[in-house]
Amino acid sequence: MLARGTILRNRYRIAQPIGQGGMGSVYLAEDLRLEGRKCAIKAVRIDPSSDQDEITELQHQFSREASILARLDHPNLPKVSDYFTEVDQDYLVMDYVSGKDLKEIIDEARRNNRFLTEIEVLNWARQLCDALDYMHNQDTPVLHRDIKPSNIKLTPSGLIKLVDFGLVKVLAKDDSRTVTVLQGRGTAAYTPLEQYGEDDTHTDARSDIYSLGATLYHLLTNQPPAEAKQRFLKPETLIPARTLNPAVSEAVERALITAISMHPDDRPRSVAEFRDQLFMEQTADGSTRTATEAGMETLGQLLRDNMLWIILAGATMLVGLLATLMK
């Protein structure tokens, strides 16, 4: 652990530790070059038993991944502003995000014997889907691989931030091989089966969808779903969301069950597809439609209902334009 007051790169003064895990530590720091700016610095550990050639290769991979993260620019992601190596330790510098994480918010709701409302959880879900859709559709797709309530911050303005890139995985363009130094195994309740073990080359966007689905399940039920390894042996250990919280809608429960399917092929193929399922609406005749389809139908109905006024407004504008041209 770095001591308070430690200065890195002649620029960042460590204020206090704010998190620690198997892959490293995260610190709150002051930017001495930009007065008043606070930042979060993630220190990534390298196994000291590694030989020098391996350490050099790991640091090269770290720089390559960090440079990709630094190019990400999305309102629901903290901006990576710097990365460097000092004394055989790699550091990633990001915006510091104030506010409570969603794990704290869940714990508070459970202590008060209440559930978070589906409306507020879906508002957060929409923002998270936007961030992941952006990451997954980069020229070099980026997976997060550790989505969980404690890695999601709710800012005072109501904006959601997916804050920890600690297990980020960069997909190679040619095949499913990866370069990943910031790698870890995730947290069991939110980790799909394919992400376990040393060979996790089969992880892709559907792995993030599993973690997001498990996170939303926890937010809506006040408890995480049964772990994937446990469900593999006993599928019945997964309790339906509506059993725990009857206020969860049937459409949302179906979307969550699909998202945390054991086999990746049974999950939505993309975050966009999961978002459509999550915001699926049921029509009067019992059929379903996505939120996008519902919005287009509503717009069409508004146009049909107000067609006369639209025509009159258009005619008035045309007469006005002709009168102006004839002066």
| Catalytic residue positions, numbered | 146
Distance (Å) of CA 181 to CA 44, 149, 156? 9, 23, 32
Reduced to 3 states (helix: H, G, I; strand: E, B; else coil), residue 227 is coil
Q: Measured between alpha carbons, how far is 320 from 287 in angstroms, rounded to an integer?
A: 46
Q: Measured between alpha carbons, how far is 215 from 190 in angstroms, rounded to an integer?
A: 7
Running DSSP on this structure, what letter comes out for residue 14? E
Q: Is 197 left (phi over 0), alpha (psi -120 to 50) or beta?
A: left
Q: Measured between alpha carbons, how far is 228 from 191 in angstroms, rounded to an integer?
A: 7
Q: Taking a C-beta distance cutoff of 8 angstroms, is the pair 135, 165 a contact?
A: no
**Residue found by looking up tokens 């998190």 in the block:** 19
The distance from CA 179 to its chain's CA centroid, rounded to whole angstroms, is 20
Running DSSP on this structure, what letter comes out for residue 237? G
Residues 6 or more apart whose CB falls under 8 angstroms from that of 227 comprise: 188, 189, 191
Q: Measured between alpha carbons, how far is 271 from 275 in angstroms, rounded to an integer?
A: 6
Q: Measured between alpha carbons, how far is 22 from 18 in angstroms, rounded to an integer?
A: 14
Its sign, for the CA torsion 94, 40, 109, 215, is positive
